[in-house]
Structure 1
Amino acid sequence: MEYIAGFQRIVFLALSVAAFGLQLWAFIDCLRYKDENYRAVDKQSKKFWVILLGVGLALALIALPPMGMRIIFLNLIALVAGIVYLTDVRPKIKAIDPRNRKQNRNHWR
């Protein structure tokens, strides 16, 4: 039984670190773009995403073991915000960002 508990701890640690990494990626990425880009794609403001993802990042940091098991529910809520940003908001902002247009044009030549 100790082997199973040890394996569960390792899996939980790996998932917690992955969630933290995703939150960190989303937070840093949202800082890269200007507020005009967020408004141009009809999404919430940059300030909204910075605050939401910043709180999510803090929760993900706190959720790392040994505290993690106590606040796993909050970490899951925060993880949803990061996933929504990376799968819905980021691709739309990246598509209209002038820095990416030059790279996209060269890619297709």
Structure 2
Amino acid sequence: MEIVLLTELWLFRVLGYLALAIELWALVDCARRQPASFEATFKRTKSFWLGLTAGSAAIGALTAYFGGFGLFGLLQLVAIIAACVYLADVKPAVSEVQGSGPYGPW
């Protein structure tokens, strides 16, 4: 019983660090993008996504530190979903617009 509990705690800790890495990746990528690219693709504003990814990273850091049980686990799930939505939907659209200039990609 004790081994199962320790394995579960270790697994939650590793998954928390993995989620934190994804959330930090989304935050850094969002900070590097130009604000006009977000509005050109109709993906809300850079401030909105920067706030959402920063909040996700903050929740991820708290969850990685304290563990992912109870309310922290639910908040971590919401945070990782927000970061994944940014990475899967917003980032490709913004990259496509930002990467093109008047004479093709720069």
CA shift for structure 1 position 68? 3.0
1:58: which partner in 2? 58
Query: Following superposition, which runs of at least 4 residues in structure 1 exceed 4 angstroms of deviation?
Result: none
The unaligned stretches of length 5 or more in structure 1 are 103-109
- Following the alignment from structure 2 to structure 1, what is the Cα–Cα distance between the partners of residues 66 and 48? 30
Matches within 5 A, 1:1-109: 1-70=1-70, 71-98=72-99, 101-102=105-106
TM-score by length of 2: 0.88
CA shift for structure 1 position 67? 4.3
TM-score by length of 1: 0.86
> Match of 2:64, SS?
coil
Q: Percent identity?
A: 28
> Match of 1:63, SS?
helix
- Following the alignment from structure 2 to structure 1, what is the Cα–Cα distance between the partners of residues 60 and 97? 30
Aligned residue type for 1:61: A
> Match of 2:69, SS?
helix
Paired residues, number: 102
Greater relative CO (CA pairs within 8 A, separation 6+): 2
* Cα RMSD after superposing both structures: 1.6
Residues 53 and 83 of structure 2 are in contact (CA less than 8 Å); yes or no, is this contact kept in structure 1?
A: yes
